[in-house]
Each structure stands twice: as C-alpha cells, then as structure tokens.
Amino acid sequence: METRVRGLLLTALLLTLPQLPGCATVHRWREHRAEVRAAREEARTEAAQANPSAGSDSVPPSVVQPQIERRKVKVPRIRSSNFELGAHYGVVSIEDFGSHPAYGFDLAYHMTEDLFVRAEVGRSKGGLTSFETLGGNVRLLTEGERRFTYYDLGLGYNFLPGEAFLGRSRAMTSSFYVIGGAGATQFGGDKKFTVIVGGGYQVLPTDRLAVHVGFEDHMFQTDLLGASKLTHNLEAGVGISLYF
C-alpha cells in the first residue's frame, strides 16, 4: 500500500515539473543553444562551399616576382642587299721574281649567310731574277712582260662566326672564311690558267662596312726559266668593302 502511494506521488511530481518557472527557463536555454550550434554549422558549410581552400590552415605560398635588370642589346642590322664591293692592298711573292706590292678590286655576291661567290682582279710587278742580277745587263723579260695581272672567280665559305671586341663596350660581328677558285694570270708575255686557294678573317665595324685580312696562293704552270714547273705565288694583304 505504501509503495503504491509513493508511485502515485512520483507520477504527479513528474507531470507538474515542466510547469515550474525554473524548468521552463532551462528548457528554453537548451533550445537556444541548439539553434546557435545549428546556425554556426550552417555558416561553416556555406563558407566551405564558397571557398574550398579556406578550410585549410596552411597559408598559400606567395608568388616571387623576380627583379631582372634587362641589358640593352644592339643587333647588327646587316643590309638585306647581298652584294659586296671592295678593294685590297698587300704584297705578292712572285716565284723567282721577288716580293712586290699588289693591289686589286673584288665584287662578291652572298648567296646565303655562309656561301658567297667572288670575282677578283689584281695587279703587281715582278722584279729581277737572281740570274738577271748576277748577269749584269741580261734581261729575260721586258718591263711590260713583268706586269703580273690576275683575275679569278671563286666560291667562298664563312665559318666560325663570332664577335670581335674593341674595348669593353664595343662588339663587332666577325668570321673566318676560306675560298677557292680558278682564273688566269698574265705574266711573262703569256696568259696562264690559274688555280687560287686562300682564306682570311673579316670584321664588320658597322652594318655596311667590312675589313678583311686575307692570304691567297695563285698557282700556275710556267717555263720562263727553261723547265716547266708549277709556281706558287703567295699574296697577303688587307681589304675594305661595302655592302649594297
């Protein structure tokens, strides 16, 4: 009987507990906390969807902007015209007739950057042979026959292009070249078929001006001193030319 009475009293107490003022306040406070948590979760979800990388705690690396100081480069403006007209002066060693000054002119056409065709004409004058020097008044050739005149046509090739420096701030385009060809040489009252080979070095101080230092061998067969032989007539000189 006593147990049954206690159960009824406990049931009545549980039914009247929500109606108490303090319990209602606690209940509303719990509901408010739940609403705040839901609002925070919703805000976090929206922020993650708008910026997926924002949820990461790592700081994105900053882009490094290199500070490069560009230097001014002047590109040689070699003319598109492929013709080159020049003159040269030097010394030619005429076999058996001594070494004497030589001069001439040449015209070249540059087919490509490396290949060119050159026509050349030059003149010098032979001296006395050792036999004429020792023989007194003996002369094998007249003054007119001692004129050494050559003209030839050759094919050249530029290689090892680079730059030549004049001081610390002046750079000039340069290259080596080789050339070979054929022509004729008028000497000793006769015209001889001539083969020429040579090479040299050229520098361009300006876009239109070129300076050459060259060496050539003019080879032809002759019998001026009796026996027929192949002579080597070596020429070295400097030249200047213009592109147009």
Task: Tell me whether residue 43 is in a domain.
Answer: yes
Instruction: Provide CB contacts within 8 A for 60, sequence distance 6+.
Output: 53
pLDDT reported for residue 22? 47
CB–CB of 196/232 below 8 Å? Answer: no
Q: pLDDT of 89-109, one tens digit each?
A: 999 999 989 999 999 999 999
Q: Do 105 and 177 reside in the same domain of the chain? A: yes
User: What would the two tokens of residue 159 be?
Assistant: 């290689």
Confidence check: pLDDT of 180 > 90? yes
How many domains, in total, are found in the chain?
2
Q: pLDDT of 51-76, one tens digit each?
A: 655 555 555 666 777 777 777 777 66
Q: Do 113 and 186 reside in the same domain of the chain? A: yes
Sign of the CA dihedral with 222 first, then 225, 228, and 232 last: negative
C-alpha to C-alpha distance for 82 and 79, rounded to whole angstroms? 8
pLDDT reported for residue 26? 52
C-alpha to C-alpha distance for 93 and 189, rounded to whole angstroms? 18
Task: Tell me whether residue 68 is in a domain.
Answer: no
Q: Which domain holds residue 182?
A: 83-243
Q: Do 17 and 131 reside in the same domain of the chain? A: no
CB–CB of 128/98 below 8 Å? Answer: yes
**HSE (CB half, 13 Å, CA atoms) of 177?**
26
pLDDT reported for residue 66? 76
Task: Tell me whether residue 64 is in a domain.
Answer: no
Sign of the CA dihedral with 98 first, then 103, 105, and 106 last: positive
Task: Tell me whether residue 69 is in a domain.
Answer: no
Q: Do 95 and 175 reside in the same domain of the chain? A: yes
pLDDT reported for residue 65? 75
Confidence check: pLDDT of 198 > 50? yes
Q: pLDDT of 16-38, one tens digit each?
A: 555 545 455 556 666 767 777 77
Q: Do 92 and 155 reside in the same domain of the chain? A: yes
Q: Which comes out higher in pLDDT, residue 181 or 225?
A: 181
Largest Cα–Cα distance in the chain? 176
Q: pLDDT of 138-159, one tens digit each?
A: 788 888 899 999 999 999 999 9
